[in-house]
Amino acid sequence: MATAEPSPSLFVRSLSTVEHNPTALKLILGAKLRELRTGAGLEPADVDLKLGFSRSKTSRIELGRTGCKQGDAVALLSLYGVEGDARAEEFLRLVEQSRQPDWWRSFSDVLSDFFAPLVALEGAAATIRTYEPFYVPGLLQTPDYAEAVVTSGPGRLLPHDVRRRVDLRQRRQRRLTEPDGPRLWAVIDESVLLRTVGGPGVMRAQLEHLITLTERSNVTLQLAPLDVTAAIGVGTGVTYLRFALGDLKDAIYIEHLTDSTFSQKPQVVEQYRDMLDRLGACALTPRQTTEALRDRLSRL
């Protein structure tokens, strides 16, 4: 029986647009290196010792916390028996791509460290699910509404910083308009419509914008009545990122006043996914939501 030729790729699926997301690539490459190491029957400490790495360097690379240099990648692939073929060439090309700067780095002057994980990975998601109890979700905000939200936060910001934060929000929204952009499924608490953020004119334009967005095929918007959110006991906003690639685990992001929780632990992600499922099942349907938005607009 003839020996099967090795796969021309180490990845089951094409990475497609994820190749242009360095943060996502680091996580995917790290997960693949962990899989290769496990297949070779080695522990992270064994690899550190064999390759002369500093303590826990292998683990940091596998977790995506440390970018993998070309030389390190060559040494790791060689140790795991992957060298001199198309698979190694592809992997090294992706390593180089992962070392490119993320687009959001240009907004580092106004991007909080705790917010960076969400911004870094939402562009690589196939589906973004979010529940927002206080404001219209950032990906659905108009510039004027976003400015009103930013200026209402803690501390006083210079006009330049406010404008930069609004620009960042608009840059994030651009991904939704691209042909291969993610699907957005947003559930908004009913109380959000009762808050006239930025004044009647700003709120009116925001509601008109939401109504327009409900016509898009990749946007699902639902309104959660107060009794629904009270019964489910959500308590805070949450964003759930689902990725099409098996090499990238789903994630949840919860923002607090001065920090955030970002987790890819399956048991944590599952709990919040279940909560979002229950919210979606009990909230108004998309059609009912559009009617509620029009009704609120008529009352402003």
What domains, with CATH codes, occur in the chain?
Answer: 16-98 (1.10.260.40), 103-299 (3.30.870)
Q: Is the pLDDT of residue 156 over 90?
A: no
| pLDDT tens column, 4-44 | 455 567 775 667 667 788 998 999 899 899 999 999 999 99
pTM above the 0.85 mark? yes
What is the residue-averaged pLDDT of the chain?
Answer: 90
CA 279/CA 272 separation, integer angstroms: 10
Q: What confidence score (pLDDT) does residue 67 get?
A: 85
pLDDT of 185-225, one tens digit each?
A: 999 999 999 999 999 999 999 999 999 999 999 999 999 99
- Percent of the chain's residues with pLDDT above 70: 94
